[in-house]
Chain A
Amino acid sequence: MQPLTRVEGRAIPLGLKNVDTDIIIPAKWLKTISREGLGAGAFEALRAEPGNVFDDPAYKGAPILIAGDNYGCGSSREHAAWAMLDLGIRVVIAPSFSDIHSGNAVKNGILPVVLPQEAVDRLLEVAREGLEISVDLDQQTVTTPYQDRFTFDIDPFRKHCLLNGLDEVGLTMARGEAIGGFEAQRTAAQPWLMRGTEAA
């Protein structure tokens, strides 16, 4: 995963609420066994509309996406994060995110920034003018050329992983002994919990 510290650039002013992961990447694109190339199917239904923000040359290659409430709701498909990454999106700003999708985003080096609706509305205005927005993860700020400055909260573990491009699996593999201890206790006290498919 690519570390993320600071992202500067234009922002795609989507603004829509309840953008579900079926909208981000429809199911027919999920037949792949790879993580690559999903940008081609990203936001397919929205991109079929004439004059859509994704194909507007003003926002071509923009690394920031601004959306409405409940971004990434619905299906747990991580393909949504892979598709966004393939489009070059590294930051999504919205008033709220679905729990699963925001986790998937972070694990792929995409920063979900939660800001109040008024701040999001202001950033949408700035983005529509084609101006650059700056997101600083270390400082936890979003700033504009108009001197707007919004601060955001982020879970410290997520911040740590994003700043350093850390692989969670590697981190947890190092805790193998603690996991083994937990399993031994379980096996002694509640052996049926540990049988799984072997119970049949």
Chain B
Amino acid sequence: MGRTPTPETMDPNMASRPRTLYEKIWDAHVVETRDDGTALIYIDRHLVHEVTSPQAFEALKVAGRPVRRPELTLAVPDHNLPTTARLDSAGKPVPIADPESAAQLAALEVNAPAFGIRYIPATAKEQGIVHVVGPEQGFSLPGTTIVCGDSHTACHGGLGALAFGIGTSEVEHVLATQTLLLQQSKPMEVRVEGDLGPGVSAKDLILHIIGTIGAAGGSGYVIEYRGRAFEAMTLEERLTVCNMSIEAGARAGLIAPDDVTFAYLKGRPMAPKGAEWDAAVAYWRTLHTDEGAVFAKSVTINAADVEPSVTWGTSPEDVVPIGGRVPHPEDFADESKRVAAQKSLDYMGLVPGTPMTQVPIENVFIGSCTNSRIEDLRAAAAILKGRRKADNVRWAIVVPGSGLVKAMAEEEGLDRIFTEAGFEWREPGCSACLGMNPDKVPPGERCASTSNRNFVGRQGPGARTHLVSPAMAAAAAVTGRLADVRELV
């Protein structure tokens, strides 16, 4: 198969210099460069949800501007949508109780078709979290630039796409021009040597990486994850890793596309078909970092050092292995981190030196764009099968990432495993990841959560979040405390 001609392969100078994967995708999307170095970058795919788009559509209306390429945008509600039943017993849509939420959801439902954009309604089986829907529909593709008014857009990097979150002004900019004005980030390599141990998941690895490089460790960079640990991962695991790149401060995270990627995408509704599929795969095979390409920063991690991980504080960098203890603020070298650690411990209600496995849990949330795909649900169900949540676990919910994930899980009988274990089985959406819709963790209570942020108030005012993998969340549900899942398999 020949190499598909693209702007960058047609320029011999650009093609001859060894480049990183990030630089290849960047170069292929430069419409033009301003004298001051700012580049006008073409955007291939744009995902829109209800929370960060109303002001952008309003601005277009006021200025009388159309959407330049409506077919390159896909709209789906997720953040603000309740995860309780969407249809009543008569099959009619259940009205949204909160008037503000209802108005915001209604705005997207009106705006998308008014501007010619494909809209997936809340009641469709294809509805789900934008970052689950994009890959699932084959809308997100390797080598493309993908944006969304949501920082977890980094997720799609698992397909080998350059995907990043944007603000609402940029949403407006993309709708109107299909481009963004950007400064190029620096390429960073996170190399993981060796294989992950048994019971250690992609989520544990990304938490370990963030704990190692820090919440600002990737600031100004786009991370490429390299090494055998990532090559051995399923596509869904790669999405989990790239999803949390933003928690390390990186604008985006990438994993080079390979046969795993192509097998995942083949036959998906919006993926290329026939001869175009072959041409696409031929192009995608060129999307890897060249021998001799230079990264501005490089970090190496030994996979054997990674254990099931949990967070203890209110920054995603506050990570310890499950066998570890709540740290002392004095353990930290820099003064501002000592202050932050003390504030975190006060908020989290934790005593330094306490073993993490002695931290009791009252709530368990399995869901979010990080961990709500079918493999996540299977991993949690494998631990929960034949078991029940502990009595002190007051609230346990599973929120599938999309209607299609939900249907697949039901076909496999996973929903029964969850409900028999005392979990609620919900409709797709962002749910308790962000304390916006009705799913919230009460003040002062703890939650073992498969989501991505343990910020102050993230899961609701006063809520205390411990980030974990799906299997670790299941282990917490069963034992009523943070627990090492390896002791339950």
A interface, CB within 8 angstroms of B: 15-18, 20, 22-23, 26-28, 30-35, 44-45, 68-70, 73-79, 81, 96, 98-100, 103-104, 107-108, 117, 155-157, 160, 168-169, 171-173, 175-176, 178-179, 182-183, 185-186, 189-200
Contacts and interface: CB of A to CB of B under 8 A. Distances in A.
Given A31-B436, A172-B177, A197 B40 contact: no
A173 B65 contact: yes
Contact of B279 (A34, A77, A190): A190
30 contacts: A16-B339, A17-B337, A18-B317, A23-B455, A31-B51, A35-B55, A70-B216, A74-B246, A76-B52, A77-B51, A77-B52, A155-B36, A156-B37, A157-B37, A157-B38, A168-B181, A172-B177, A175-B32, A189-B4, A189-B6, A190-B4, A190-B279, A192-B276, A192-B279, A192-B280, A194-B71, A197-B71, A199-B269, A199-B271, A199-B273
Nearest to B182: A103
A98 B151 CA distance: 11
A76 B151 contact: yes
Given A175-B31, A197-B139, A198-B71, A74 B216 contact: no
B40 A157 contact: no
A34 B56 CA distance: 10
A108 B340 CA distance: 29
Contact of B181 (A30, A157, A185): A157
Contacts of B151: 74-76, 100
A17 B338 CA distance: 11
Interface of B: 4-7, 31-32, 34, 36-38, 40, 42, 44-45, 51-52, 54-55, 58-59, 63, 65, 68-69, 71-74, 79-80, 98, 100-101, 103-104, 107, 118, 137-139, 141, 144, 149-151, 153, 164-170, 172-173, 176-179, 181, 183, 185, 215-216, 219-220, 246-247, 249, 251, 269-273, 276-277, 279-280, 283, 315, 317, 336-337, 339-340, 343, 434-436, 453, 455-458, 461
Contacts of B277: 192
B435 A179 contact: no
B166 A155 contact: no
Contacts of B144: 193
B40 A172 contact: yes
A197 B269 CA distance: 9
Nearest to B277: A192
Given A16-B336, A196-B74, 15 more contacts: A15-B336, A16-B343, A18-B340, A27-B458, A81-B167, A168-B169, A171-B181, A172-B40, A172-B173, A172-B179, A185-B7, A190-B283, A192-B272, A197-B139, A197-B270
Contacts, number: 237
A86 to B, nearest CB: 14
Given A68-B336, A199-B273, A107 B42 contact: no
Contacts of B272: 192, 195, 199
A76 B51 contact: no
Given A22-B455, A22-B458, A157-B34, A33 B215 contact: no
A157 B215 CA distance: 27
A33 B169 contact: no
Contact of B178 (A28, A32, A35, A179): A179
A30 B270 contact: no
A68 B340 CA distance: 10
A98 B249 contact: yes
B453 A196 contact: no
A76 B147 CA distance: 11
Given A28-B435, A175-B31, A182 B42 contact: yes
B251 A99 contact: yes
A35 B53 CA distance: 11
Given A45-B461, A169-B176, A175-B31, A18 B315 contact: yes
Contacts of A31: 51, 80, 98, 100-101, 103-104, 436
Contacts of A28: 435-436
A73 B168 contact: no
A17 B249 CA distance: 13
Contacts of A171: 181
A199 B71 CA distance: 9
A75 B452 CA distance: 11
B55 A169 contact: no
A44 B435 CA distance: 14
Nearest to B151: A76
B177 A169 contact: yes
A100 B215 contact: no
B166 A100 contact: yes
Contacts of A197: 71-74, 118, 139, 270
Given A33-B54, A96-B219, A179 B31 contact: yes
B6 A190 contact: yes
A169 B167 CA distance: 13
A125 B168 CA distance: 35
B336 A199 contact: no
A28 B79 CA distance: 11
B185 A99 contact: yes
Contacts of A78: 52, 55, 149, 167-169
B280 A156 contact: no
Nearest to A22: B455
B103 A70 contact: no
Given A28-B436, A31-B80, A172-B177, A200 B216 contact: no
A104 B178 CA distance: 18
Which 10 A-B pairs have CB atoms at the shortest separation, nearest pair first? Answer: A78-B167, A192-B272, A76-B165, A104-B167, A27-B436, A33-B54, A31-B100, A70-B216, A197-B118, A107-B169
Contacts of A45: 456-457, 461
Nearest to A70: B216
B181 A200 contact: no
Nearest to A182: B31
